[in-house]
Structure 1
Amino acid sequence: MSIHFDLSDFRLFVSIAEEKNLTRGAARAFLSVPAASNRIKHLEEMLGVKLFERSPQGLHLTKAGATYLQHARIVLSQLDMLTGDMQVYTQGLTGQLRLLANSTAITEYLPTVVASYLHTHPDVHIDLRERMSEDIVRGVRDGAADLGIISGSVPTDGLQSIPFVSSRLVLIAPLQHPILQGGAVAFRDALNHVMVSLLESSAAHSFLGRAAAAIHKPMSIRVQVASYDATFRMVEAGAGIAIVPQACYDRLKDGFEIGLAALSDPWAIRTFRVCAQEFQGLSSFARDFATSVIERYRIDGQTADHPL
């Protein structure tokens, strides 16, 4: 049987699969819902298999759908690399860089890199999304992203990864709070106090929630906010204590009357890494971005020479 594969079908399918919703997926692909539905129906008829299972919770991939998604991502990734590399020889570098990063990387380490990179690569669009490190590894491995920025001891089997900076999580509290009087604090003891947290949708909130679940002790969250700046304001006002990156504290501390204590847990010290399926297999502009991240912190003496 001869099967005709269409790049538009690949893009639409990936959008719907990632959104787990036909309406949102169609919007990402700039199609109406009926048009998107018809394309998926015709695709399933052509392949002779069902790609999605429908439920009140949304769309879910069948085994055949998961296989199709894996290959669709690979094909689209290869096409992006080809387009980017060919543009070098014509009218300048252009393309889309798909990047996944955790909360701390996005707020503390990537802004200066992105600003500099976009100045030298004005025709590259960066699709940056926040995820947990475990989900980032999975996304890069599955071809959903070109690069990932992760931290901690997350296994990266099957990927290449390069460390670029180390940081740690710290506890902040109002200046006279008793938790600041005893030096380093164990996360278990911090959980005895009410806390200020980022929103549940944030990777930072999910990370701390998993750490609390691992020791079977819940977080008592009084206030949830959308940014670290708001976190500092709430802590200063006495709403609770908070766990934040050291880099975030260094950036914001001068504007607030708050104190700091180190977290004594080993997982509080985290190494940040750039990861990819294979760095030499990336498009030129994706390789350039990875190099920019590593070089930015290597210049500060934070990491050794790298192979890019």
Structure 2
Amino acid sequence: MHFDIPDLRMFIHVAEAASMTAGARRANISTAAASTRIKTLEGRLNTRLFYRDSQGVELTPAGQKLLKHARAIMRQVEYVKSDFSDHSSSDVGHIKIFANTTAVTDFMPEVLANFLSQRPAISIDLQERLTNDIFRGVLDGAADFGVTSGEIKIRGLEALPFSVDRLVVVVPKHHPISSSDIVSFQKTLEYPYVGLHEGSTLLQFLKAQVEEIGVQLPLRIQVYGFEAACRMIEAGVGIGVLPESSAIRYQKIMSVDLIHLEEAWASRARSIVVREYESLPESSKELIREIKKFHQ
């Protein structure tokens, strides 16, 4: 079975845009030419890849399967281009990363600032995603690698642990539980919570924990970012559960106290997830080494 790289790239554009016209525009070709390429691809596979209607196109089950493979193929093509570039292989390229809230707001900005300052020919696309979306994105080839916390039970992924993510309870000074050294998660649910936005992996994780207890997370307000959460907590709006590394940083400039959680799940391994480490271009491997080095 023969595949043309331009046809696969065209297929990805149409699938992601959910539109033949928009996909063709991304590929800088006419809609008619795009349609012909898709029909050619369908003929070679002997299957239908899109449902078509007046609103656009939608992937068939076969199309969804091909999208996963096509992304992986195109990602490998980019890896080959990067490794055989005229530039040093670790100093050029584009790296796409899916990461959880803690990584995006806590340590990746500093890691990337240092990494990019020494490599002007490299560009980075860092996106905050939920844990399952991180796994799916890496598996499907939509991201070069992911950064997440907790157990990794997804087949087809390599996990590269690099540090521990400890969660602590952050409370305003003189709060009823501020004098405690350690507290149960269930005890904290007696008080209003300052939570992160709905797209936050940490919020989804905490919601999963309260579901096991059989109650609801007592959210009083939701904000974007750990600094905003700590400011709300300092003002007495509520309490919150945040990564210890971030909480310690804001404790230095705000009137808040930190309390350890007694649950074992409060300590979670941070890991980088990849499909196959050895197949990554040198630029991605170098960035992974920088992330590990930052946490040593």
1:70-105 deviation line (CA, Å, top 9, x unaligned): 221122111111111111557984221111111111
User: If the length of structure 2 is used for normalisation, what is the TM-score?
Assistant: 0.86
User: If the length of structure 1 is used for normalisation, what is the TM-score?
Assistant: 0.83
User: Residue 51 of structure 1: CA displacement?
Assistant: 2.5
Distance 2:131 2:275 in 1: 15
Are residues 68 and 208 of structure 1, via their aligned partners in 2, closer, same or farther at CA, if it must alter by over 3 Å? same
Distance 2:293 2:75 in 1: 25
Are residues 15 and 237 of structure 1, via their aligned partners in 2, closer, same or farther at CA, if it must alter by over 3 Å? farther
1:5 match:
4
2:83 match:
85
Distance 1:24 1:252 in 2: 48
1:192-227 deviation line (CA, Å, top 9, x unaligned): 221111111222222222222232211121111111
Distance 1:166 1:69 in 2: 34
Are residues 216 and 120 of structure 1, via their aligned partners in 2, closer, same or farther at CA, if it must alter by over 3 Å? same
The correspondence for 2:38, drawn from 36, 43, 65, is 43
1:134 and 1:154 in contact (8 A); partners too: no
Are residues 184 and 277 of structure 1, via their aligned partners in 2, closer, same or farther at CA, if it must alter by over 3 Å? same
Distance 1:95 1:81 in 2: 8
Structure 1 letter corresponding to 2:26: A
The correspondence for 2:96, drawn from 92, 95, 98, is 98
Does 2:15 align with 1:29? Answer: no
The sequence identity of aligned pairs, in percent, is: 32
Distance 2:152 2:16 in 1: 22
Distance 1:75 1:190 in 2: 48
Give ranges in structure 2 of 5+ residues lacking alignment.
none
Structure 2 letter corresponding to 1:39: A
The correspondence for 1:115, drawn from 113, 116, 125, is 113
Count of equivalent residues: 293
Distance 2:225 2:146 in 1: 22
The correspondence for 1:274, drawn from 272, 277, 280, is 272
Does 2:150 align with 1:155? Answer: no
Are residues 51 and 209 of structure 1, via their aligned partners in 2, closer, same or farther at CA, if it must alter by over 3 Å? farther
1:121-168 deviation line (CA, Å, top 9, x unaligned): 211111111122333222212222111112111224322222111120
Tell me whether 226-235 or 152-161 shows the greater mean CA deviation: 152-161
Q: CA RMSD in A?
A: 3.1
